[in-house]
Chain A
């Protein structure tokens, strides 16, 4: 199959998917959870529906800053507030229970602003460090590649594909955050890093085959070798991703509510990772390596 020939089509398709997310990221950013911003989350459940005005009026009477209320269904509500102490929380619930006697707390989380800022810093650093290590590792493990090809270009191409996946997931969650109030928390960062690892996983399978085919096909152009390698590895790339997609789909359908978006992030990222390793990483590598190999001939 001639994958590389249609590279501009594939790049275009990627851009088409990336641009809405990028625009949303630029306009709306991400909807950050209390993990990042600091604040309190209080999830309460009652046997009867509670109108939002009740929450607001009680919060106001207690001088608490209640920013949003999310109805989780089943008469349970997720309240977001400025950081509360346990005392304020108990007081709030006590007042609430005067009107709704069977009120029950499912979850209460308070994150101080210091901790939030720290997580943001650490998350950015983790993504950066992960990318750097991956470039170095690939460059190192492909170091025996015959001249004039550069193992650094293999590493960098893999990382470009990886950034593609990261940006796609970020963009999607920016859109989800804007329209469906989906929040980005520390689990999301976890998902993002896992996606990064898996994206490279796929890319390496293809690159490894290119490495193997290079000395075997001395007469073919680099483009032809990559095309050939891609065709050869297509089945395994798809199959390895498919097994992961299967387990994730099971988790998405049957797993609990609380990890739903975590699983979505993983699922989307892994599908994107498979796409990018076939249709982005390899064409980029070809574009990068080709001019030089022509010169050498």
Chain B
């Protein structure tokens, strides 16, 4: 038992040396903090645009809704990538009956251009070769067949040339108008390429094998299942076009964010120093040990923020600074209990163990209540509220560990030396 206990601080030391050194640097030279790419900073700190779109699925029939949303999401992700925004985010969410699309574009300067690019409905076009051996997209000309005429693209196994080996292929299902157009196109292009473009970007260029009159075509090739799925999604972006409408937009200037981070960081350091002083004045040596545990708490939490990763927002940083005050709560409960046990005539070592044991129920119950509200916040919130809730949850869990395990180990080590 003693060996385990004695080993604990050493192990922690190794751990923090190994993993958390960069974080220590951060604390000393605040500037490193922001440059460290491992920390995921929220939009309010980096500056950028946060968009929420409402996806109008009223024109798509029931079973195809999921396909349509997936296709829209991927299509918008592709366009966002075209904008060259690093660390952008495209997410779908379902709120009640409403399908939403959440887009985050950090550091975009020309917002109108970004909005125009994202907001367009996908255009899927079937083009035929204008020259004998087409080598670039310019060598194709429009056929009048577009995504509107395509009912659905789906993955299937076998069919076409790959009938024998049950390889995945992509089937196209045209509506009656599309079937007519497609029959004409295939008739005059047998043995030639008909290329499919999405937003003027080549998706696939299959060669027509025969005239297809029933509006059901199969694109076969050496596709893996994933490739076939990806192709289907791209085609469906044109086949199941769903209009999207902005319902929420937030642009945040980057300068405002930088200023806020610097201020919060300073406030955090002041808060930390105040707590350290408070603990030392009130509890002497024990207080100092609790301060050490608090430092370990900070390092551990920051490491966890990186690992999960937690997106740090202004509110989230405030939550973390708040958690510094709450992290020593458990220590205060234990130390006050220890004072009492000593007053009741227990020897110091026994008082220490009893205090940890007896203070536990109130520490557990009070932290569970905080966890309950933090979890509800996480469920209720979006964006910056979630960031706050998550930092609070990580903070509470970590503080339980640091205030109990770490402090106890430190205290035992100190008292056993005495």
A250 adjacent to B270 (CB under 8 Å): yes
| Cβ of B252 under 8 Å from chain A | yes
- Segment from B199-207, B258-266, B407-415 that makes contact with A: B258-266
B374 adjacent to A197 (CB under 8 Å): yes
A133 adjacent to B372 (CB under 8 Å): yes
Contact with A along B244-261 (1 / 0, CB 8 A): 001111111101100110
Cβ–Cβ < 8 Å partners of B372 in chain A: 130, 133-134, 137, 197
Cβ–Cβ < 8 Å partners of B54 in chain A: 112, 114
Contact with B along A213-235 (1 / 0, CB 8 A): 00000000000000000001101
**In the bound complex, how far is the Cα of B333 from the Cα of A268, in angstroms?**
23
A254 adjacent to B381 (CB under 8 Å): no
Cβ–Cβ < 8 Å partners of B249 in chain A: 86, 108-110
**In the bound complex, how far is the Cα of B344 from the Cα of A200, in angstroms?**
29
Cβ–Cβ < 8 Å partners of A107 in chain B: 250-253, 256
The interface centre, meaning the residue of A110, A256, A259, A266 with most chain B CB atoms within 10 A of its CB, is A256
Q: Which residue of chain B has the shortest Cβ distance to A267 in the bound complex?
A: B322
B247 adjacent to A115 (CB under 8 Å): yes
| Cβ of B368 under 8 Å from chain A | yes
Partner of A255, one of B115, B252, B263, B332: B263
A239 adjacent to B336 (CB under 8 Å): yes
- Segment from B29-37, B57-65, B301-309, B359-367 that makes contact with A: B359-367
- Segment from B81-89, B171-179, B226-234, B271-279 that makes contact with A: B271-279
| Cβ of A183 under 8 Å from chain B | no
Contact with B along A25-59 (1 / 0, CB 8 A): 00000000000000000000000000000000000
| Cβ of A176 under 8 Å from chain B | no
| Cβ of A111 under 8 Å from chain B | yes
**In the bound complex, how far is the Cα of B367 from the Cα of A114, in angstroms?**
35
A254 adjacent to B373 (CB under 8 Å): no
Partner of B333, one of A134, A187, A240, A248: A240
Partner of A256, one of B259, B367, B370: B259
| Cβ of A193 under 8 Å from chain B | yes
B366 adjacent to A204 (CB under 8 Å): yes
A106 adjacent to B253 (CB under 8 Å): yes
Main secondary structure of the interface of A (DSSP, over half): helix
The interface centre, meaning the residue of A105, A138, A258 with most chain B CB atoms within 10 A of its CB, is A258
A123 adjacent to B380 (CB under 8 Å): yes
B52 adjacent to A247 (CB under 8 Å): no
Partner of B260, one of A114, A123, A256: A256
Cβ–Cβ < 8 Å partners of A141 in chain B: 361, 364-365, 368
Question: Could you tell me the distance in whole angstroms from the C-beta of A29 to the nearest C-beta in chain B?
Answer: 21
Question: Could you tell me the distance in whole angstroms from the C-beta of B354 to the nearest C-beta in chain A?
Answer: 12
B248 adjacent to A251 (CB under 8 Å): no
Cβ–Cβ < 8 Å partners of A112 in chain B: 54, 246-248
A244 adjacent to B251 (CB under 8 Å): no
Q: Quick one: given A247-B325, A251-B318, A255-B264, are A109 and B377 in contact (CB under 8 Å)?
A: no
B373 adjacent to A208 (CB under 8 Å): no
Q: Which residue of chain A has the shortest Cβ distance to B255 in the bound complex?
A: A106
A239 adjacent to B282 (CB under 8 Å): yes
**In the bound complex, how far is the Cα of B325 from the Cα of A115, in angstroms?**
34
Question: Could you tell me the distance in whole angstroms from the C-beta of A85 to the nearest C-beta in chain B?
Answer: 7
| Cβ of B138 under 8 Å from chain A | no
Cβ–Cβ < 8 Å partners of A118 in chain B: 95-96
Q: Which residue of chain B has the shortest Cβ distance to A40 in the bound complex?
A: B249
Chain A residues 94-140 with CB under 8 Å of chain B are 104-112, 114-115, 118, 122-123, 125-126, 129-130, 133-134, 137-138
Q: Quick one: given A105-B251, A106-B256, A112-B247, are A208 and B362 in contact (CB under 8 Å)?
A: yes
**In the bound complex, how far is the Cα of B247 from the Cα of A111, in angstroms?**
6
Q: Which residue of chain A has the shortest Cβ distance to B369 in the bound complex?
A: A200
The number of A-B residue pairs with CB atoms under 8 Å apart is 215
Chain B residues 370-387 with CB under 8 Å of chain A are 370, 372-374, 376-377, 379-381, 384-385
A247 adjacent to B275 (CB under 8 Å): yes
The interface centre, meaning the residue of A189, A201, A266 with most chain B CB atoms within 10 A of its CB, is A201
Question: Could you tell me the distance in whole angstroms from the C-beta of A206 to the nearest C-beta in chain B?
Answer: 9
| Cβ of A16 under 8 Å from chain B | no
A258 adjacent to B336 (CB under 8 Å): no
B325 adjacent to A204 (CB under 8 Å): no
Cβ–Cβ < 8 Å partners of B251 in chain A: 105, 107-109
Question: Could you tell me the distance in whole angstroms from the C-beta of A93 to the nearest C-beta in chain B?
Answer: 11
Contact with A along B395-411 (1 / 0, CB 8 A): 00000000000000000
| Cβ of A5 under 8 Å from chain B | no
A190 adjacent to B377 (CB under 8 Å): yes
**In the bound complex, how far is the Cα of B57 from the Cα of A51, in angstroms?**
46
| Cβ of B314 under 8 Å from chain A | yes
Q: Quick one: given A109-B250, A204-B362, A204-B365, are A250 and B271 in contact (CB under 8 Å)?
A: yes
Cβ–Cβ < 8 Å partners of A204 in chain B: 362, 365-366, 369
B264 adjacent to A251 (CB under 8 Å): yes
Q: Which residue of chain A has the shortest Cβ distance to B379 in the bound complex?
A: A126
Q: Which residue of chain B has the shortest Cβ distance to A212 in the bound complex?
A: B358
Q: Quick one: given A138-B365, A250-B274, A251-B271, are A126 and B377 in contact (CB under 8 Å)?
A: yes
A86 adjacent to B112 (CB under 8 Å): yes
Cβ–Cβ < 8 Å partners of B255 in chain A: 106
Cβ–Cβ < 8 Å partners of A249 in chain B: 274
| Cβ of A253 under 8 Å from chain B | yes
User: Could you name 26 residue pairs across A and B whose Cβ atoms are closer than 8 Å?
Assistant: A106-B256, A107-B250, A107-B256, A110-B246, A126-B379, A133-B372, A190-B315, A193-B377, A193-B380, A197-B369, A197-B374, A198-B370, A201-B366, A240-B326, A240-B329, A240-B332, A243-B328, A243-B332, A244-B322, A244-B326, A248-B322, A255-B267, A255-B321, A257-B260, A258-B256, A263-B318
Residues of A within 8 A of B (CB): 85-87, 90, 104-112, 114-115, 118, 122-123, 125-126, 129-130, 133-134, 137-138, 141, 186-187, 189-190, 193-194, 196-198, 200-202, 204-205, 208-209, 212, 232-233, 235-236, 239-240, 242-251, 253-259, 262-263, 266
Known: A87-B112, A198-B326, A250-B268. 5 other contacts (CB 8 A): A106-B255, A126-B380, A242-B278, A251-B267, A255-B260
Residues of B within 8 A of A (CB): 44, 52, 54, 95-96, 98, 111-112, 115, 246-253, 255-256, 259-260, 263-264, 266-268, 270-272, 274-275, 278-279, 282, 314-315, 318-319, 321-322, 324-326, 328-329, 332-333, 336, 340, 358, 361-362, 364-370, 372-374, 376-377, 379-381, 384-385, 388-389, 392
